[in-house]
Structure formats: C-alpha cells, structure tokens
C-alpha cells in the first residue's frame, strides 16, 4: 500500500456451484472515487489505494448474485469487513438491434442509481439478439448500449428483487 492510502479487506461466500471471480466495487461517499477488486478463488478480496473517505461496498457476479457490504470509513488504514454471503439478484434482459449483432464494438452496461456500473457480459445471443445482465441488486438502473464511444440505446428500469426485467433500448439519433 502506498504511503497515505488505505484498504478494505474481507470475504464474500457463495454456493460451491459458483467458481467465478466476484467483482467488488467501492465508491467514496464524499470523493465519489471508484475502486475495483476481484475475489480470489476462496472469496477473499482487498480493495487498495483508498483515500480517506467513507466507502459504499458492493460485490457482484452475473451468476452468484450480489452482496451489500458494510459502509466502511478509511483513514490511511486497513479495515477488514469480515465474511458475507451472496444473495440472488435481479436480471435485465434486452434485445440488441439486428444491425448491431456481431459488432465487436457494441457493449451493454447497467448503472445503478448509486453510481456503480456493471458491464454486460462480452457476448450477445446471435440468434435471439438478446443480452442478459444478472446478479443485480434492487433499485433504479440505467441501461446503455454503446457502439465504441457512442451511446446508441438507453433506457431505465427498476429491479425490486430477484425478478427478470425485460427492457427495450430506445435508439439514440445519430
């Protein structure tokens, strides 16, 4: 850890059927700084290089679900938030416009109202033209489809629990 920075450690547990590298995101409440970490194969993580602030923490995996970790105040130190369990999450399903299917520059992302962005998986179903983003926590989500740096579709959906929400991306004019 560099001089003057802090870190948050902990563990996220999930059922044995999931063996993915769970993504942990920390957002500074005052600085709005965003830091990312990945869990190892045992679920342990360390979010490093944190400025003094209080951080909101979320863990996410497309299949294993999500977990809200305790808000944690950092003051140039390391805090262990302990071990927490993943919970099933909601899913957003949408259609990729046919003209964009197979375009490797197209990406879909979902941004929660708290500012955390979850990028869609790197694949789209080429037959059904569908994308799926799973393991999401409750709240209002803005879904954007990008082609390179340009937003080509956008919509907002609400997730209340573990349901699947079907969305239609409104294409943006060029």
Q: Is the dihedral of CA 31, 51, 116, 79 positive or negative?
A: negative
Give the strands of the sheet with 117-119, arranged side by side. Answer: 117-119, 106-112, 139-147, 150-159, 170-171
**Residues 98-152: tens digit of each pLDDT:** 777 777 788 889 999 988 888 876 555 555 677 889 889 999 999 998 888 899 8
pTM of the predicted model over 0.85: no
167 neighbors 155 (Cβ within 8 angstroms):
yes
DSSP character at residue 115: S
- Alpha-carbon gap, residue 118 to 109, rounded angstroms: 6
130 within 8 A of 93, measured Cβ to Cβ: yes
pLDDT band, residue 1 (cuts 50/70/90): very low
């Amino acid at each position: 850890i560099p001089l003057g920075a802090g870190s948050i450690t902990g563990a996220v547990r999930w059922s044995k059927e999931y063996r993915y590298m769970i993504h942990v995101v920390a957002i500074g409440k005052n600085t709005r700084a965003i830091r990312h970490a990945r869990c190892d194969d045992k679920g342990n993580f360390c979010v490093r290089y944190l400025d003094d602030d209080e951080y909101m923490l979320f863990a996410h995996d497309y299949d294993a679900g999500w977990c809200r970790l305790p808000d944690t105040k950092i003051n140039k130190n390391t805090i262990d938030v302990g071990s927490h369990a993943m919970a099933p999450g909601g899913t957003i399903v949408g259609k990729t416009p046919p003209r964009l299917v197979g375009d490797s520059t197209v990406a879909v992302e979902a941004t929660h109202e708290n500012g955390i962005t979850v990028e869609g998986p790197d694949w789209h179903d080429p037959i059904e033209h569908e994308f799926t983003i799973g393991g999401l926590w409750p709240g209002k989500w803005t879904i954007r489809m990008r082609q390179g740096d340009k937003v080509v579709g956008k919509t907002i959906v609400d997730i209340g629990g573990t349901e699947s929400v079907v969305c239609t991306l409104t294409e943006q004019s060029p």
